[in-house]
Amino acid sequence: MEKEIFTSEFEKVANTYDIKLWVAEKLGRRWSYVMGGGNEKFLPASLIGKIDNYGVFVEGENYNAQEILKNVEEILSKFRNIQKG
């Protein structure tokens, strides 16, 4: 249930910036998809930042990476709080 709620939060951010957005967890040398949202843009993905052992990836053009990272950080902190509680 929680994952669906947070996926909808990612959808909102992705739609706001007209991007595809997802978070992946670093496992060794590989990235493992956790959650995300938005429509496929068929553009190269960019790693725009890291939060702990999670990477934030974006497909899109003309977006503000700092604003997106701030939004994702807020969503992930809510997700972590629910998992702990």
The pTM for the full model equals 0.86
> What is the domain partition of the chain in residue ranges?
2-80
Quote the CA–CA distance of 17 and 75 in Å, as a whole number: 16
d(CA 66, CA 69): 5
Show the tokens assigned to 51. Answer: 């939060």
- Tens digit of pLDDT for each residue in 11-23? 999 999 999 999 9
| Per-residue pLDDT, 52 | 87
